[in-house]
Amino acid sequence: MFPLYDTIPSKRRPYIMYAIIVANVIVFFYELSLTQPQLLEFFAEYGILPARYTVSKVREILGFSILPWVTHMFIHGGWAHILGNMWYLWIFGDNVEDVLGHWKFILFYLLGGIVAALVNFIFMPTEAIPMVGASGAISAVMGAYFVLFPHSRIVTLVFFFIFFTLIEIPAVVYLFFWFLMQIYSGMVSSAFQVSNVAWWAHAGGFVYGMLVGSVWRKKYYAYWRRKGNYYYWW
């Protein structure tokens, strides 16, 4: 399954979401200009390396720094990594920014990335592979969307062997299934060490987004759904 777009258009232009995407693309093209040794050094310096904070020998080499807790979410490990992350942000980010407003959205996004990284750090405190990518912050956006727009639908491209079709999947179903997959994959990864994907960051970011989305939903009734040619505040 591949999500194409949601059925709820935003009412305002998501300038912050655009800026985040541009920033990620700029950093990625900078990465492409680096040699392999330079790229690995870049990842180690600006990605989150849990061992940097828990293993004394690693800390002696890299030094202590809190900067990676922000910079890691603007670094990606390849074309599939950045394209997948930016596509999900494009689908879900505009509506969440519409509700929170521009400046609150950037604060929410950055805190979401930090919280997601902290959750992953708790589960893998001595990991020696740098954690990079915007997926934790984007998971927070998806968690907020899950709460704020439960009546939305995700138009999804579904493949059946050599055939494909488009179907509308309720957002709550799509995102809940996605969240369960992160939990399951995180448990498998923790038990067998078979993946270098930060599954727990995805799950942690999603829960954080749900909590923030719930606060905004209760305080401002700030999500709406489309019905015919009218828009209703819920």
The list of the chain residues with pLDDT below 50 reads: 222-234
* Residue for token pair 């950045």: 82
- Provide the residue range defining the domain that includes 68: 2-233
* Pair 144, 104: CB distance under 8 Å: no
pLDDT score at 233? 40
Taking the C-alpha atoms of residue 155 and residue 69, their distance in angstroms, rounded to an integer, is 33
* Pair 76, 125: CB distance under 8 Å: no
pLDDT score at 230? 40
Taking the C-alpha atoms of residue 203 and residue 77, their distance in angstroms, rounded to an integer, is 20
Q: pLDDT averaged over the chain?
A: 88
pLDDT score at 212? 94
- Number of domains comprising the chain: 1
Contacts of 61 (CB under 8 A, 6+ apart): none
pLDDT score at 96? 95
Q: What is the DSSP letter of 64?
A: -
CATH number for the domain harbouring residue 78: 1.20.1540.10
From 70, 113, 84, select the one nearest 212 (Cα to Cα).
113
pLDDT score at 126? 83
pLDDT score at 229? 39
Contacts of 176 (CB under 8 A, 6+ apart): 146
Taking the C-alpha atoms of residue 228 and residue 159, their distance in angstroms, rounded to an integer, is 29
